[in-house]
Amino acid sequence: MVQETGSDAWWASKQGPEWEQDATGQYRVTFWWRDPAGSETTSAIRHVWLYITGVTDHHQQSAPQSLTRIAGTDAWFWQTVLEAGWRGSYCLIPSTQPDDFSPQVFTQLPPDRTALREGWRKLFPQAIADPLNPHGWRGGRGHPVSPLSLPGAPEQPGWDAPDTPYTPPMCIDWQSEHLGNRRRVWVFTTGDDSHADRPLAVLLDGQFWAESMPVWPALANLTHEGKLPPAVYLLIDVIDSAHRSQELPCNADFWQAVQQELLPLVRATTPFSDRADRTVVAGQSFGGLASLYAGLHWPERFGCVLSQSGSYWWPHRGAHQDGVLIETLKRDELSAQGLRIVLEAGVREPLIFRANQAMLAQLQRSQTSVIWRQVDGGHDALCWRGGLTSGLMTLWQPLTPAQ
C-alpha cells in the first residue's frame, strides 16, 4: 500500500535522513522536515536552511541551501550525494523571513565570505536539531545539532557503549596565579589501579568533553575492554572564547602554568606518571595547534601529541602562507624528534586541511614518528570524538595488553 506523502503513516516511517547507494558506491542522502504549521496555505515558513558541517557550512563558501516544500503538504526535503565514509553533524533553521542573507551571497560566486558568515551567525539562535533523529547534542556554537554517519564511516571506538558504568570525575577549581584567572578542571580516572605510574592525558576544551559530549563512558568502556590502560584524564576548561583565543594559540604562559601549577595540584590527590612517553596532550582546532606546540616546546613532559583539525594557519587566516608553528619548524628552531604524533584533519575543512598537510610534510622531514589520518568530514566534533579515542589507543598501544 502506497502511503500518501505527508500523512501520519508516511511520517512514522521517517527516522531521520534516508539514503540509498548508487552504482558508483556513493550515497544519495535525503533530509526531511515536517512543518508543524502544515502546508503552504497555513504556514508562514519561507525557508528551512540546512547547515551540514563540511557540506553546506560557511567553510565551503557556497550559497546557503534550503529544503524545498512538497507542494500541498507539510513535508520539506533536500538531497545531496556523499561518499560512503562521510560523517557529520547538521541542524535545521526554519525561517519566516524572505531574506535571511545579503543578496550578494546568492549573486556572487563564490559568495562574499563576510556576508555569508554574518547571515549564518544571525540564524544560529533559531537552529533546531532534527526532530526525526533521536540523537543530538549542542555544538561548539551552542546550538542543537544532530549526527549522521554513512555505512562506510570509520569506527568510533568506545562511543557505541553509552551505558558503560564509570566513576564520576572530580571537578576542581584551578586558581592560577601565573595566568591571573580561575577555571574548572575535571579529573577522571579509569581502572582499579591507583599507582603513580598511570599514564596521563591532558584534554583541551575540557568543558566540551565533560558536558556537551561526555567522554566518560567511552573511556571507561575501552579501559574495561583492555584497549586503553588505566589512566588519569585531565580536562581543562577554556573559561570563554576570549580566553580560548588567547591561551591556546602558541601561548607559553599557559603551558608553564599547566606544568608549574595545575599538574602538581592534581598529583597531590591523584598520582600519575611524569614520563613524557606516557603523557598525551590532545586537542582540536586551536587545541590541536596547542597540543603540538606543547609537545615541541616541552618534549620532556609531553611526549605524545594528538592533534585534530589543528589550526596551523594561525595567525594568517585565509592567507596563502604558513602559520607561525610551521615557519618555526622550517627554520629549525624546534625539533619534533622523539615525539609520537597523531595528526588528523577532515578533507571538508579546506583551510585547515591544507595547513595540516603542510605541517605533516614538515614533520616528516624531521623523521618524526607521525601518524596521519584524514577523514571524510568537516570541522566537526562528531568526527573528533572517534579520532580522540582512536588516537589515545594508538599513542598508548605499548601500554595495553595484546588483543
SS (H, E, C) 304-363: EEEEECCCCCCCCCCCCCCCHHHHHHHCCCCCCCCCEEEEEEECCCHHHHHHHHHHHHHH
DSSP string, 133-175: -S--EE-TTSSEEEEEE-TTSPP-TTTT-TT---PPPEEEEEE
Q: Are 143 and 125 in contact (CB under 8 A)?
A: yes
> Between the CA of residue 45 and those of 34, 75, 122, 214, what are the distances in Å?
11, 12, 17, 35
Given this model, what pLDDT does residue 403 score? Answer: 43
**pLDDT in the model for residue 1:** 46
Q: What structural domains does the chain harbor? A: 8-149 (2.60.40.10), 170-399 (3.40.50.1820)
b/e burial code for range 34-49 (CB count within 10 A of at least 16 → b)? ebeeeebeebebebbb
pLDDT score of 10: 95
Residues 6+ apart with CB under 8 A from 246: none
DSSP 257: H
Is the four-CA dihedral 281, 285, 286, 289 of positive or negative sign?
Answer: positive
Question: What is the pTM for the complete model shown?
Answer: 0.94
Alpha carbon distance 100, 47 (integer Å): 9
Q: What is the pLDDT of residue 185?
A: 98
- CA 303 to CA 309: how far, in whole Å? 19
Instruction: Report the DSSP pairing between strands 144-149 and 181-189.
Output: unpaired
CB 308 within 8 A of CB 283: yes
Among candidates 290, 276, 284, which has minimal Cα distance to 391? 284
Residue 177 burial by Cβ neighbours in a 10 Å radius (0-12, 13-18, 19+): exposed
Q: Which residues pair with 370 in a beta bridge?
A: 341
Give the number of other Cβ atoms within 10 Å of residue 292's Cβ.
27
- pLDDT one digit per residue (tens) for the chain, 403 residues: 457 999 999 999 999 999 999 999 999 999 999 999 999 999 999 999 999 999 999 888 889 999 999 999 999 999 999 999 999 999 999 999 999 999 889 888 888 888 999 999 999 999 999 999 999 888 767 789 999 999 999 999 999 999 999 999 999 999 999 999 999 999 999 998 778 899 999 999 999 999 999 999 999 999 999 999 999 999 999 999 999 999 999 999 999 999 999 999 999 999 999 999 999 999 999 999 999 999 999 999 999 999 999 999 999 987 778 999 999 999 888 888 899 999 999 999 999 999 999 999 999 988 778 999 999 999 999 999 999 999 999 999 987 665 4
Res 2: pLDDT: 56
368 CB neighbour count, 10 Å cutoff? 21
Cell numbers linked to 193: 589501579
